[in-house]
């Protein structure tokens, strides 16, 4: 399968380096700059694919990652979420599916910029808030923004792998909406208030990982006015599972839901609304 994947990617004009075990993969990352790691969970040797990802991320912190698995491992989902996996790909899959996923993951940074620029134009929001959503390389590496982005990547991976149930995902969404509202209201993304908020994003990620590891399903609290109802959230959940939208689109969802007052806006924002929420 490794050889077939490498050949498929090479035929699509990607520059590919193929290694048979975690140790060789880590060693390759010491000497070359890679954009994307595709790894199975199980592989020969003492370390598995998620161990390899953890070590490679220490060498290449900004590398994107796709984890392939074909069996149930109760600990693998939470471990993958902790490492910021971009996509969880289940066997069997064909070459078309693989190439679509690779293209989506590799477009993450571009999509961040596109959707947050659209939000900036539509809402005319605070420049600081919108810069934080983008998460671009040139932005100062402050504690709050990286922690927040890590949460979204874990949240996406948990839903996309179905290790977070739709009920648990909605429960997390309710708490996320509160954090996102406080994030937008912050005057600065440094200082005591920012550190407290970063700790809350980190705690919410730990909760998501625990729910994913236990395959637990919570019962969302009764819906309040303005809150997302299950019928609507299920559409987001299904779009994530299908790979119809990536992490950048998911990151735009809470702001769009809050700032558009739960109503479909016109123009470019309407197209983004349809991609996230569909016809509500």
What is the per-residue pLDDT across 138-185, written as a single tens digit (0 to 9) for each?
444 447 888 888 899 899 988 988 888 999 999 999 999 899 888 877
Under a CB-based contact definition with an 8 Å cutoff, are residues 259 and 123 in contact?
yes
Residue 134, token pair as written in the block: 């983008």
> Quick one: DSSP state of residue 39?
E
Collapsing DSSP to helix, strand or coil, 241 comes out as helix
pLDDT of residue 135: 42
What is the per-residue pLDDT across 211-244, written as a single tens digit (0 to 9) for each?
887 776 677 678 787 788 888 899 899 988 888 8
Which residues, listed in sequence order, are joined to residue 9 by a DSSP beta bridge? none
Contacts of 81 (CB under 8 A, 6+ apart): 153, 154, 157, 158, 205, 208, 209, 212
Q: Enter the CATH code of domain 2-105.
A: 3.40.50.2300
> Quick one: DSSP state of residue 161?
T
pLDDT of residue 102: 92
| Angle ∠(170,261,254) on CA atoms, nearest 5 | 40
pLDDT of residue 271: 80
Q: How many CB atoms lie within 10 A of CB 244?
A: 13
pLDDT of residue 71: 60
What is the per-residue pLDDT across 89-140, written as a single tens digit (0 to 9) for each?
888 889 999 999 899 888 876 776 666 666 666 655 544 444 444 444 444 4
In this prediction the pTM is: 0.80
CA dist 132 and 78 (Å) reads: 25
pLDDT of residue 38: 93
pLDDT of residue 140: 40
Q: Within 13 Å of residue 174, how many CA atoms lie on the same side as its CB?
A: 18
What is the per-residue pLDDT across 132-151, written as a single tens digit (0 to 9) for each?
444 444 444 447 888 888 89
What rounded mean pLDDT belongs to the chain? 81
Handedness of CA 53, 27, 141, 103 (dihedral sign): negative
Residue 69, token pair as written in the block: 């698995």
Q: Where are the domains of the chain?
A: 2-105, 108-277
Collapsing DSSP to helix, strand or coil, 261 comes out as coil
CA dist 69 and 89 (Å) reads: 6
CA dist 212 and 168 (Å) reads: 9
Q: How many CB atoms lie within 10 A of CB 232?
A: 17
């Amino acid at each position: 399968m490794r050889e077939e994947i490498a050949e498929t990617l090479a035929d699509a004009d990607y520059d590919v380096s193929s290694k048979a075990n975690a140790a060789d993969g880590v060693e390759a990352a010491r000497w070359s700059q890679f954009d994307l790691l595709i790894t199975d969970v199980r592989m020969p040797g003492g370390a598995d694919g998620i161990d390899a990802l953890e070590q490679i991320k220490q060498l290449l912190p900004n590398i994107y990652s796709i984890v392939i698995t074909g069996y149930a491992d109760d600990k693998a989902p939470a471990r993958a979420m902790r490492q910021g996996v971009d996509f969880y790909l289940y066997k069997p899959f064909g070459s078309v599916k693989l190439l679509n996923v690779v293209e989506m993951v590799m477009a993450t940074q571009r999509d961040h910029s596109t959707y947050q620029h659209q939000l900036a134009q539509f809402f005319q929001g605070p420049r600081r808030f919108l810069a934080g959503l983008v998460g671009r390389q040139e932005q100062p590496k402050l504690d709050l923004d990286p922690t927040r982005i890590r949460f979204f990547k874990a949240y996406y991976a948990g839903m996309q792998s179905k290790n977070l149930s739709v009920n648990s995902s909605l429960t997390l969404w309710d708490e996320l909406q509160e954090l996102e509202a406080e994030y937008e209201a912050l005057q600065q993304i440094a200082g005591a208030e920012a550190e407290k908020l970063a700790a809350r994003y980190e705690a919410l990620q730990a909760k998501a990982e625990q729910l994913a590891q236990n395959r637990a399903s919570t019962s969302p609290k009764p819906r309040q006015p303005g809150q997302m109802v299950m019928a609507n959230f299920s559409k987001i959940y299904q779009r994530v599972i299908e790979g119809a939208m990536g992490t950048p689109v998911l990151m735009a969802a809470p702001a769009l839901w809050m700032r558009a007052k739960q109503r479909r806006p016109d123009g470019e924002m309407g197209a983004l609304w349809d991609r996230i929420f569909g016809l509500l």
